A = this chain, B = another copy of it.
Amino acid sequence: MSDIRAGEIAVALPDTFDAGVYFIGHIRTPWKTRGECPRNARGSDAVCTIELEERYAAALEGVETCTHLVVLYFMHEARRDLVVQVSRHSGRRGTFALRSPVRPNPIAISVVRLVRVEGKKLSVVGLDCLDGTPLLDIKPYFASVDSVPEAVVGWSKGGGE
């Protein structure tokens, strides 16, 4: 593992995993390096493509009726052992107060706007991940349970990510 910054805390992770996940497809974005990725999901209007594996194609039935989706993906390049992280942008924070890819289970969620469905490919706006990122899940976004406009992250002054 690479070095950690002053103030960061790494822990020993368990020796074995408790469950497994399948990569069910991949995400195509314009960004080939972390440095190129937008700072957050509202930072780009780029249309990205979700390419589902053929075996799961039938699971898209009805997805075209959704204006927005929740996309879950696996940040497979991230280290998993930091519980406290330090960054210029966010200061010193516990991992669960951050949306950093560095976390025990590097599963990201992004709320995206669905542009179109063509076969097993979805075109969406609102992703900020690396090209080739493995896909874990797609869910319909229900405003009734998923939208909380008044939510506040106190440590983040402007309310931005």
Contacts and interface: CB of A to CB of B under 8 A. Distances in A.
Contacts of A56: 11, 83, 95-96, 104
A90 to B, nearest CB: 9
Nearest to A71: B96
A139 B58 CA distance: 31
Interface string A95-106: 111110001110
A153 interface: yes
A42 to B, nearest CB: 5
A96 B14 contact: no
Contact of A20 (B11, B17, B95): B17
A96 B68 CA distance: 12
Contacts of A99: 139-140, 142
11 contacts: A12-B55, A18-B21, A20-B21, A21-B21, A21-B105, A57-B83, A61-B94, A61-B97, A107-B107, A109-B109, A110-B145
